[in-house]
A and B are shown apart, each in its own frame.
Chain A
Amino acid sequence: MDLVSLAVRSIFIDNMIFAYFLGMCSFLAVSKKVSTALGLGLAVVFVLSITAPVNWLLQQYVLREGALTWVSAEFANVNLEFLQFIMFIAVIAGMVQLVEMVIEKFSPSLYGSLGIFLPLIAVNCSILGGSLFMVQRDYTLPQASVYGFGSGLGFALAIVALAAVREKLKYSNVPKPLKGIGITMLITGLMAIAFKSFIGIAV
């Protein structure tokens, strides 16, 4: 039950985009068409749900203070936490490389339409942010896995919703200086208000 409520929380309430602004760059750049947005969303779900548990194991058994006691009792005082950023980003970059190869093999058309944004998932803050939040909040392994999957799904939901709005926006009369990023920003703000109302629901 705890895991279900965590999943709901990470999708709607602690949404990566609307509550923490993580992954905004690709959120704004790839949300012009629903089909591409969906592709990127699924790629992010995949990468996040794998990197969160992998980074959890890394943190628990290698990086944390006293984590290396399973090797030998002498390492009880070793604290490798300063390596955290580099190790996490290495795992993420490796995973992204893997996803890139898989997509190129099985869906060349999606690979073409995502273009530069596929490798840029490596620098998508929502991925690294997911891992850092997971460490900050002391999640257990099952919690970390659910959190990774849920926040990936939250990102996918947000980007597809915005893409759907922006597809219609092409036909509307927007003041010239507000076109593009300006109006998108305001729409995201309004969507964030809608998502805020989930806070009132106890889970």
Chain B
Amino acid sequence: MSTETTEVQSEVKEPKKVSEPLLSKRRKQILSDPLNEDNPITVQVLGICSALAVTVKLQPTLIMSIAVIFVIVFSNLIISLMRNLIPTRVRIIVQLAVIASLVTIVSEVLKAYSYPMYKVLGAFVGLIITNCIVMGRLEAFAMGNKPYDSLLDGFGSGFGYAWIILTVAFFRELLGSGSIFNFKVFEELGIAYQANSMMVDSVGAFIILGILIWVQRYVTGYVEN
């Protein structure tokens, strides 16, 4: 009799002890917020430099997105694992050391397996180190949250960054070079299109991003003071 009651008790207690489901509502929000409502580029205004610099063509942009997602996910994870060991005073140096190591890995892999792409991206792979999104997420999230949550946050911010720069690159390549992934769209359709060199230039990037921000904020209703 007594054993039965203890079993019942333990059964009742059990659900409380069970940790959060793998994708609870809160975690889904961590993952999805940076995609639109709290987008790192268009709302938080971070990581603009690389967003504009590599978006002339879609292919390097895609490589860049993958590199940034890799760096942001792993730096978030590593810093979150170490967060209780890092003294606050030297945290910036520690964060930069972790980011710089990860970026070095990306840069060496790219040099080894895709040298032409490495040449195209040039200094901008190195500049992921100073990409404020990476540093910003480490400061704002990974320093105070558990590793798994930080991992999700890294994916969310990484993909939020990726879709914006891919959209910018899509319009810049389409209007600037008349192609998508080097596929000559207008020629195939038989339309004569005079490529607009303004789009290849930095000017096009500023203006397309500006318009993209306008459209996105019109949809989400976010207004800046």
> Which A residues have a C-beta under 8 Å from some C-beta of B?
18-25, 28-29, 82, 84-86, 89-90, 93, 119-120, 122-125, 127-129, 132-133, 136, 175-186, 188-189, 192-193, 196
Contacts and interface: CB of A to CB of B under 8 A. Distances in A.
B130 interface: yes
Nearest to A96: B92
Q: Which of A29, A86, A129, A181 has most chain B Cβ within 10 Å? A: A181
Q: Which of B53, B206, B214 has most chain A Cβ within 10 Å? A: B206
A76 B109 CA distance: 25
B217 A28 contact: no
B126 A128 contact: yes
Interface residues of B, number: 49
B22 interface: no
B204 to A, nearest CB: 8
Nearest to B42: A181
B135 interface: yes
Q: Closest 10 interchain pairs by CB?
A: A180-B224, A189-B206, A185-B210, A177-B217, A24-B48, A132-B123, A21-B52, A186-B210, A189-B207, A177-B218
The A interface, classified by DSSP as helix, strand, loop or mixed, is helix
Q: Which of B47, B97, B135, B201 has most chain A Cβ within 10 Å? A: B201
B126 A132 contact: yes
B104 interface: yes
A90 to B, nearest CB: 8
A184 B101 CA distance: 34
A64 B55 CA distance: 30
Contact of B49 (A125, A176, A192): A125
